[in-house]
């Protein structure tokens, strides 16, 4: 017992700080601050997605020009040149390098994304090389050194590759980026001068003179798409109004048929009961059954006619939209 008390005192002395020295507090491990979650689309990603839409509109113009060459129709060769000159000048020099900077940050944070980032960056290099080659081929074609067949083949392959690449980024890579990067990461990226969007020579506030024909063609396509959209919408409204008219007529016809049926049932039942009060109930039931069958036949006939009319209206709408599409492609 004495030994135990002595041990406690000894331990107490050891734990007491030496005279003139402050007591040392036990170190408490600080909890890691939770990373701020990103809940809204960041300006950098919004800009990259908007640029994808712009590139897609340029590819649509290029596809139209290639179709004209393939069909032997007149084509504005300078627009074709400006299209690929724009792709080499702007997306390959500004858009793709900015994507690579964001991809590099993701690869630093998430090791699983490193392989995807490497593949995408190598794809950017290949696309730039294919673009320069295609631009050179267009120049040679305009000078009569090569046929349009090779330009059409390589041009279509370029367009298809561009769409596949952008779809991969939009559906797989961009969501992965937004799931990995935090607000702090986005703030640091936003401070990068190289990530600041460069003035677009076609879609920016001022169109560069060397791309004026492409810009004019894009605006014409936009105007036609708006006009076409308005026409398609109006065709749809007309079809809807006609369908409502068909349904209204069907409803009125069915209402009249039902009214006539009820009137006949009442009139016949009253006459039968007046003539034969004792057996009239059975005769009324038989007569009402016959009238109801006739009424159901009328309703079924009205329904068939209504479905036929609605089908005709819908077919007419599809035909008009198809003709409109054919006219806009010419």
Q: 69-109: per-residue pLDDT in tens?
A: 999 888 888 889 999 999 998 898 889 988 998 998 998 88
Give the model's confidence band at 153: pLDDT under 50 very low, under 70 low, under 90 confident, else very high: very high
**Residue 282 vs residue 119, higher pLDDT:** 119
Give the model's confidence band at 128: pLDDT under 50 very low, under 70 low, under 90 confident, else very high: very high
Average pLDDT over residues 319-323: 72
What pLDDT does 313 receive? Answer: 77
Contacts of 256 (CB under 8 A, 6+ apart): none
Q: Is the pLDDT of residue 267 over 60?
A: yes
Q: Work out the number of other CB atoms within 10 angstroms of the CB of residue 156.
A: 15
Q: Is the pLDDT of residue 36 over 60?
A: no
What pLDDT does 279 receive? Answer: 76
Task: Kindly report the average pLDDT of the chain as a whole number.
Answer: 80
What pLDDT does 35 receive? Answer: 55
Taking the CA of residue 268 as centre, how many other CA atoms within 13 Å lie in the half-sphere pointing to its CB? 18
What pLDDT does 56 receive? Answer: 94
Class of domain 43-206 as given by CATH:
mainly alpha
What pLDDT does 116 receive? Answer: 78
Q: Output b/e per residue, 245-273; b: 16+ Cβ within 10 A.
A: ebeeebeebbeebeeebeeebeebbeebe
What pLDDT does 135 receive? Answer: 96
What pLDDT does 208 receive? Answer: 77
For the chain, first and last CA: distance in Å?
Answer: 109
Q: Is the pLDDT of residue 38 over 80?
A: no
Highest mean pLDDT among 37-41, 225-229, 304-308: 304-308
Q: Is the pLDDT of residue 275 over 90?
A: no
What pLDDT does 143 receive? Answer: 92
Q: Is the pLDDT of residue 319 over 90?
A: no
Confidence (pTM):
0.59
Q: Work out the number of other CB atoms within 10 angstroms of the CB of residue 59.
A: 19
Q: Residue 268, Cα to own-chain centre: how many angstroms?
A: 64
Contact 303, 250 (CB under 8 A): yes
What pLDDT does 119 receive? Answer: 86
Question: Residue 284 and residue 91: Cα distance in Å, rounded?
Answer: 84
**pLDDT tens profile 10-29:** 444 444 444 444 444 444 44
**pLDDT tens profile 183-195:** 999 988 888 867 7
CA-based nearest residue to 230, from 222, 241, 220: 222
Domain ranges of the chain: 43-206, 229-329
Q: Is the pLDDT of residue 67 over 60?
A: yes
**pLDDT tens profile 202-258:** 887 777 777 777 877 777 765 555 545 656 676 677 778 778 877 887 888 888 888
């Amino acid at each position: 017992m004495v030994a135990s008390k002595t041990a406690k005192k000894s331990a107490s002395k050891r734990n007491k700080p030496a005279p003139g020295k402050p007591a040392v507090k036990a170190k408490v491990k600080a909890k890691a601050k939770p990373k701020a979650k990103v809940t809204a689309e960041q300006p950098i990603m919004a800009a990259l997605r908007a640029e994808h839409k712009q590139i897609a509109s340029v590819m649509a113009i290029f596809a139209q020009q290639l179709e004209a060459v393939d069909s032997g129709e007149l084509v504005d060769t300078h627009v074709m040149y400006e299209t690929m000159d724009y792709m080499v000048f702007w997306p390959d020099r500004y858009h793709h390098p900015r994507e690579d900077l964001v991809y590099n940050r993701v690869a630093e944070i998430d090791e699983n994304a490193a392989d995807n980032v490497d593949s995408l960056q190598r794809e950017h290099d290949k696309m730039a090389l294919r673009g320069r080659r295609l631009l050179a081929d267009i120049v040679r074609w305009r000078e009569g050194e090569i046929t349009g067949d090779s330009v059409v083949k390589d041009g279509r392959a370029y367009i298809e590759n561009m769409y596949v690449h952008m779809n991969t980024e939009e559906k797989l890579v961009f969501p992965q980026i937004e799931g990995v990067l935090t607000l702090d990461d986005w703030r640091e990226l936003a401070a990068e001068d190289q990530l600041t969007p460069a003035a677009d020579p076609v879609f920016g506030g001022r169109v560069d003179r060397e791309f004026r024909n492409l810009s004019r063609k894009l605006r014409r396509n936009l105007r036609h798409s708006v006009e076409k959209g308005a026409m398609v919408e109006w065709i749809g409204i007309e079809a809807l109004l006609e369908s409502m008219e068909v349904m209204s007529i069907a409803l009125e016809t069915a209402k009249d048929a039902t009214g006539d049926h009820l009137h006949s049932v009442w009139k016949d039942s009253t006459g039968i009961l007046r003539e034969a009060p004792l057996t009239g109930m059975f005769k009324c039931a038989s007569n009402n059954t016959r009238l109801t069958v006739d009424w159901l036949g009328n309703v079924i006939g009205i329904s068939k006619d209504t479905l036929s009319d609605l089908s005709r209206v819908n077919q007419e709408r599809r035909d008009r939209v198809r003709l409109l599409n054919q006219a806009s492609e010419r």
